[in-house]
Amino acid sequence: MSAGLVVLIALAVVVFIILARSIRIVPQARAGIVERLGRYQRTLNPGLALLVPFVDRLRPLIDLREQVVSFPPQPVITEDNLVLGIDTVVYFQVNDPKAASYEIANYIQAIEQLVVTTLRNVIGGMTLEDTLTSRDKINAELRTVPDEATGKWGIRVNRVEIKSVDPPGSIQEAMEKQMRAERDKRAAILQAEGYKQSQILTAEGEKQSSILRAEGQRESQRLYAEGQAKAIETVFQAIHDGDADPKLLAYQYLQMLPQIAQGESNKVWIIPSEFTQALGQLSSAISSGGDGGAEQGRRATPPPAQ
């Protein structure tokens, strides 16, 4: 291999290294800090950037998206001297890469310590019951105080949430007993209310049923009475149109007589006066009819031979 070829290869390698150190690509939602000879020079935005080789240095890229950090449980003492284990979740975002790089050494650790200190100050002035029932108030105070302190670091704390609150074991047992008693009480109340409502609905149903039954009976009796009246009217009209004589009425009385005597309890019954009069008329009619027949017989029989 000739010396000229070696030189060309060496120059190519040097040019490649220079280009590699000169060209930088910054992804979206990232930011880069460029230092020239150890001093801050500029902030790189997403896209293609050119650096001066061996003079400019690009620090590790900073994520500009909202980040979520969960901190381990921290012991906190309440106003009534109870030790609680509270773990929190912090949502923050870097909005000034330069300040986040030069104003604080480790902003995640600084946020953690700031949140823990604020949490102890807030919980220290509250009782256990207030701590368990006032999470929104605690979250609001935990967000406001760290956000004021982290502003100069180029970091915005969007919100701080309490993930869990762990009271001591004895307190948890007492709370479980209280909750069990409250549930039993509510169950008894609901059962009594259900039984009461059931009785009310049953009474209402029976009332409506009785009303409907009475209305049905009243309607049935009314229709039956109307039917009887119509039948009597029809019979009366038929008798009136037929101009029935006393003999026919007496005959009808005789037909109804067996029906009057029906039934085991009909031991004593009363014969109407009209029936007696009709029976007399019928008897007279029969007698007159018999006499007429005998007279006709005598007329038809010839006298004996002399």
Is the Cβ–Cβ distance between 162 and 85 less than 8 Å? no
User: Alpha carbon of 243 to those of 238, 246, 280: distances in Å?
Assistant: 8, 10, 20
DSSP H helices in the chain: 3-22, 97-102, 107-123, 128-133, 135-150, 169-242, 246-261, 273-300
Residue 41 lies in a domain: yes
Q: What's the CATH code of the domain at 128?
A: 3.30.479.30
Residue 231 lies in a domain: yes
Last residue of a domain, one of 21, 37, 63: 63
Tell me which amino acid residue 231 is.
A
**201 plus 248 within the same structural domain:** yes
Last residue of a domain, one of 114, 145, 167: 167
Residue 36 lies in a domain: yes
Is the Cβ–Cβ distance between 126 and 142 less than 8 Å? no
**180 plus 212 within the same structural domain:** yes
Secondary structure class of 75 (helix, strand, coil): strand
Q: Which residues pair with 69 in a beta bridge?
A: 90
pLDDT values of the chain reduced to their tens digit, one per residue, 306 residues: 577 777 778 888 877 888 777 888 899 999 999 999 889 999 999 998 988 888 888 999 999 999 999 988 888 888 888 888 888 899 999 999 999 999 998 989 999 999 888 888 888 888 888 888 888 888 888 888 888 888 899 999 888 888 888 887 777 777 777 778 888 888 888 888 888 888 888 888 888 888 988 888 888 888 888 888 887 777 667 766 766 566 666 666 666 666 666 656 555 555 555 556 655 665 665 565 545 444 444 444 444 443
Residue 239 lies in a domain: yes
User: Alpha carbon of 6 to those of 2, 10, 12, 13, 239: distances in Å?
Assistant: 7, 6, 10, 11, 150
| Boundaries of domain holding 30 | 11-63
Last residue of a domain, one of 167, 191, 207: 167
Residue 245 lies in a domain: yes
Residue 24's CB is within 10 A of a number of other CB atoms, namely 17
Is the Cβ–Cβ distance between 101 and 42 less than 8 Å? no
pLDDT at 268: 59
* Rounded Cα–Cα distance for residues 28 and 63 (Å): 9
* Rounded Cα–Cα distance for residues 231 and 229 (Å): 5
**224 plus 156 within the same structural domain:** no
pLDDT at 265: 58
**If you count them, how many residues does the chain have?**
306
pLDDT at 288: 56
User: Which residues neighbour 101 within 8 Å (Cβ) at sequence distance 6 or greater?
Assistant: 33, 59, 62
pLDDT at 273: 58
**34 plus 80 within the same structural domain:** no
Tell me which amino acid residue 296 is.
Q
**54 plus 113 within the same structural domain:** no
**73 plus 137 within the same structural domain:** yes
* Rounded Cα–Cα distance for residues 88 and 165 (Å): 9
Residue 252 lies in a domain: yes
In terms of Cβ atoms closer than 10 Å to its own Cβ (0-12, 13-18, 19+), residue 118 is buried
**38 plus 84 within the same structural domain:** no
**The dihedral formed by the CA atoms of 236, 241, 246 and 248, expressed in degrees to the nearest 10:** -90
Short-list 233, 275, 283, 229, CA closest to 254: 275
